């Protein structure tokens, strides 16, 4: 099914004391002469927190930047939907936080499947992010004294999460978008919105450009540069139903993978515990309710399976606050993977509530009684309104119903300490790379990583690569090969004229992944999915129906191209999940659990990053993980 290749080594990783490594790398990374910077062009694909901040910062440094997004404006990237907050080791609360503690929590939260060096750098840089964002005018929540408010978030025992009501992602993204807009105005960034990257140009072993389609005119164009940065987000939409935006897709990273970039830990996906349950077959996406709600909400199910009484009429004695019962020290604040699986288990056992029994209650009655309705409204008002709009129920009086949903992908393209992929000149930042979250991401850490990569890490490390530039002109044959591939693929999609819509294929693929590569994975299930996916893919290319032509705006053509790539990526996700026979973080293998049903990690066999090479069959390259500053332990939230 796959072959074992040579081990992969992160050659850029600095050594020495943990707290000196980033400083040392910044010093050892070569600088580019300011006069040469304007002769160097960098392509940045995606304008979320990572891409927007990187494009703005690279332009400030003097590079010529080409920025791309598929949305109609760079301000709409899906980072905008992040609700809860952003972690930073400011220790403004004097509650015992520190860079080391944030590092420690992140390595442990990732279940010891991330690199110590990278995570320490992330924690170190986190404090600068808050400073930068405040200076940009990001309206973080403040106390009456005028200082920034923080809260504890998703399992953290210190209050290190900065937030802007339930719209933290939006406000941080607008900060990056505004910095980017300033550089567009200054002529340092050429912005191309409604333009989707469809392939990567590799010439003489280096990433040198992209082939993209203008989604309005349908024209396919080639853009060349000295380096390419992918900031195109995660691949959660492989599951069809997820909390991702409808347009979020994996095409950019998958095409880069096919051109030689290693894909790391594709099976590490995060299922978020607090989402609004599916209401019917028509469902087009799932909506997250920030997990900050678990700070004050209590999760429970009725003690009797098939309970018919409305929640308000179920007395305390007939309720099972199962997270508080199973995990007395963390209670409702256990990490995401644990909360999600507990919800799945309790619903599978027949205690679930709502349509199909796929939901649990998240109850604010105690919080309203303790804090008063105005305080609850101040903290969660917009989330409650959103919930009521979608479900027609008022969470102040009726407990919310929640169920887990696919939310984030820790896996992504393999990168070294410099955030460079295995293709020289191709850098990958934000959710699109695999680097910092191991097998499970902590709450409020995605925004931190996106901005750390874009504002502070990449702009420092990319210089070391660009110091060798400008690179020689790209050979016309390299360009012709890629543009030819793109054109023939579009033609093929349009030529099938079959009888099943791209959405219909996507729905079937998503259900397959959810059932077999979701919250619990088992060998028989994964083998079943691995048998079905190639057949589904073959059927796709025989029966997909794309109407219209490629000469203008054609949303079903866009969709079909994305689904075609999900159909390939899904197979690698299942293969990775099958090969990793341990349980760790968001990856729970039923064959590897403790007697009381907790995840059983296998450090002797699996303390490595699985970096996959595109080939037939795929080739597995292992990067060993070594832990010197945090001792691998079994996570216990009991």
Partner 1 sequence: MRFTLRIWRQDDATADGGLRSYVVDDVSPDMSFLEMLDVLNERLSAEGAEPVAFDHDCREGICGMCGMMINGVAHGPAKATTTCQLYLRDFTDGDTITVEPWRARPFPVVRDLVVDRSAFDRIIEAGGYVSTPTGSAPDAHAVPVPKADADTAFEAAACIGCGACVAACPNGSAMLFTAAKTTHLGMLPQGQPERYDRARAMVATQDDLGFGGCTNAGECTAVCPKGIPLETIGRLNRDVLSHR
| 8 Å CB contact between 323 and 342 | yes
Stretch in the footprint of partner 1 (CB under 8 A) among 142-150, 254-262, 311-319, 470-478: 142-150
If residue 25 lies in a helix (H) or strand (E), which one and from where to where?
helix 21-28
Alpha helices (H) in 497-522, listed in sequence order: 502-516
Hey, CA dihedral for 519, 525, 530, 533, is it positive or negative?
Answer: negative
Closest by alpha carbon to 586, among 251, 321, 344, 243?
A: 344
The position carrying tokens 């098939």 is 306
Nearer to partner 1, 35 or 135 (CB): 135
| DSSP calls for 180-196 | HHHHHHTTSEEEE-SEE
Instruction: Verify whether residue 370 is a known catalytic residue.
Output: no
Q: Between 504 and 629, whose beta carbon lies closer to partner 1?
A: 504
Applying CB under 8 A, the site for partner 1 has a residue count of 79
List the x/- string, 398-437, binding to partner 1 by CB under 8 A.
----------------------------------------
Per-residue DSSP letter, 441: P
Q: How far apart are CA 621 and CA 378, in angstroms?
A: 49
Using CA atoms, how far apart are residues 125 and 533, in angstroms rounded to an integer?
41
Binding mask 275-294 toward partner 1 (x if CB under 8 A, else -) reads ----xx-xxxx-xx------
Within 570-599, the residues that bind partner 1 by CB under 8 A are none
How near is the Cβ of 585 to partner 1 at its closest, in Å?
26
What is the smallest separation between the CB atom of 140 and partner 1, expressed in angstroms?
8
Which of 28, 304, 475, 555 lies at the binding interface for partner 1 (CB under 8 A)? 555
Query: CA-CA distance, 180 to 191, in Å (whole number)?
Result: 9
Tokens of 294: 């678990």
514 binds partner 1 (CB under 8 A): no
Instruction: Tell me the C-alpha to C-alpha distance, in Å, between residue 286 and each of 171, 504, 512, 616.
Output: 22, 17, 17, 35
Q: How far apart are CA 87 and CA 79, in angstroms?
A: 15
Of 135-143, 256-264, 471-479, 511-519, which segment contacts partner 1 by CB under 8 A? 135-143
CB of 230 to partner 1, least distance (A): 19
Q: Phi and psi dihedrals of 511, rounded to 5?
A: -65, -40
Give the nearer residue to partner 1 in terms of CB position, either 110 or 459: 459
Largest CA distance in the chain: 74
- The order of strands in the sheet holding 206-214 is 195-203, 206-214, 220-224
Q: Is residue 69 within the footprint of partner 1 (CB under 8 A)?
A: no
Provide the minimum distance between the beta carbon of 543 and partner 1 in the complex, in angstroms, as a whole number: 13
Contact between 143 and partner 1 (CB under 8 A)?
yes
636 contacts: CB under 8 Å, gap ≥ 6: none
User: Which residues in 72-111 contact partner 1 (CB under 8 A)?
Assistant: 72-76, 78, 80-81, 90, 92
Residue among 345, 483, 556, 593 that touches partner 1 (CB under 8 A): 556
Q: Which is nearer to partner 1, 143 or 348 (CB)?
A: 143
Is residue 461 part of the contact set for partner 1 (CB under 8 A)?
no
Q: Which of 125, 158, 191, 339 binds partner 1 (CB under 8 A)?
A: 191
- Rule CB under 8 A: say whether 50 interacts with partner 1: no
187 binds partner 1 (CB under 8 A): no
Tokens of 149: 């408010």
Contact between 553 and partner 1 by CB under 8 A: the answer reads yes
Question: How is residue 358 written in tokens?
Answer: 């796929």
Q: Where are the beta strands (DSSP E) in 342-399?
A: 360-363
In the complex, the smallest distance separating the C-beta of residue 427 from partner 1, rounded to whole angstroms, is 17
Contact between 344 and partner 1 by CB under 8 A: the answer reads no
**Nearest distance from C-beta of residue 547 to partner 1, angstroms:** 6
User: Which candidate in 298, 336, 401, 537 is catalytic?
Assistant: 336
| Catalytic (active-site) positions | 336
């Amino acid at each position: 099914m796959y072959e074992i290749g040579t081990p992969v080594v992160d050659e850029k990783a600095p050594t020495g004391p943990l707290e000196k490594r980033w400083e040392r790398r910044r010093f050892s990374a070569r600088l580019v002469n300011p006069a040469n910077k304007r002769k160097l062009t960098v392509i940045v694909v995606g304008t979320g927190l990572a891409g927007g901040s990187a494009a703005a910062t690279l332009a400030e440094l003097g590079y010529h930047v080409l920025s791309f997004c598929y949305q109609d404006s760079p301000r709409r990237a899906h980072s905008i939907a992040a609700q809860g907050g952003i972690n930073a080791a400011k220790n403004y609360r004097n509650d015992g936080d520190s860079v080391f503690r944030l590092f420690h929590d992140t390595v442990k939260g990732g279940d010891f499947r991330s690199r110590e060096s990278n995570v320490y750098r992330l924690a170190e840089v986190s404090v600068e992010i808050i400073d930068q964002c405040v200076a940009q005018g990001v309206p973080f929540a403040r106390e009456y004294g005028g200082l920034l408010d923080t809260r504890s978030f998703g399992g953290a025992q210190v209050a290190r999460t900065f937030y802007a009501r339930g719209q933290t992602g939006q406000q941080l993204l607008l900060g990056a978008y505004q910095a980017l807009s300033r550089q567009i105005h200054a002529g340092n960034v050429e912005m191309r919105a409604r333009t989707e990257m469809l392939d990567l140009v590799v010439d003489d072993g280096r990433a040198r450009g992209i082939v993209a389609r203008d989604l309005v005119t349908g024209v396919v164009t080639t853009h060349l540069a000295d380096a390419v940065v992918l900031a195109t987000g995660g691949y959660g939409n492989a599951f069809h139903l997820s909390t991702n935006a409808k347009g979020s897709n994996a095409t950019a990273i998958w095409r880069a993978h096919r051109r030689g970039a290693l894909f790391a830990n594709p099976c590490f996906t995060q299922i978020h515990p607090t989402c609004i349950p599916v209401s019917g077959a028509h469902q087009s996406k799932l909506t997250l309710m920030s997990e900050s709600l678990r700070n004050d909400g209590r999760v429970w199910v009725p003690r009797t399976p098939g309970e018919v009484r409305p929640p308000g009429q179920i007395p305390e004695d007939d309720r099972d606050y199962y997270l508080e019962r199973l995990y007395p020290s963390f209670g409702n604040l256990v990490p995401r993977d644990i909360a999600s699986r507990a919800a799945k288990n309790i619903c599978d056992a027949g205690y679930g509530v709502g349509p199909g029994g796929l939901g649990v209650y998240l109850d604010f009655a105690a919080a309203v009684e303790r804090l008063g309705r105005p305080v609850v409204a101040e903290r969660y008002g917009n989330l409650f309104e959103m919930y009521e709009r979608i479900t027609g129920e008022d969470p102040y009086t009726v407990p919310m119903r929640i169920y887990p949903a696919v939310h984030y992908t820790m896996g992504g393209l393999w990168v070294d300490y410099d955030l460079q992929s295995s293709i020289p000149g191709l850098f990958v930042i934000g959710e699109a790379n695999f680097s910092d979250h191991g097998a499970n991401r902590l709450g409020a850490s995605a925004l931190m990583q996106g901005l750390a990569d874009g504002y502070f890490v990449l702009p420092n490390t990319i210089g070391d690569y660009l110091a060798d530039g400008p690179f020689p002109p790209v050979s016309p044959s390299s360009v012709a090969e890629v543009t030819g591939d793109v054109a023939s693929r579009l033609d093929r999609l349009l030529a099938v004229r079959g009888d099943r819509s791209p959405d219909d294929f996507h729905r079937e693929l998503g259900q397959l992944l959810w059932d077999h590569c979701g919250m619990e994975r088992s060998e028989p299930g994964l083998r079943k999915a691995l048998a079905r996916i190639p057949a589904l893919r073959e059927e796709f290319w025989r029966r997909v129906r794309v109407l219209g032509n490629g000469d203008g705006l054609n949303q079903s053509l866009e969709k079909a191209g994305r689904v075609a790539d999900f159909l390939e990526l899904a197979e690698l996700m299942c293969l990775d999940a099958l090969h990793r026979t341990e349980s760790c973080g968001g990856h729970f293998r039923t064959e590897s659990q403790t007697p009381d049903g907790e995840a059983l990690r296998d450090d002797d066999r699996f303390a490595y990053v699985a970096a996959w090479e595109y080939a037939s069959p795929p080739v597995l390259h292992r990067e060993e993980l070594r832990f010197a500053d945090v001792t691998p332990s079994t996570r216990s939230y009991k």
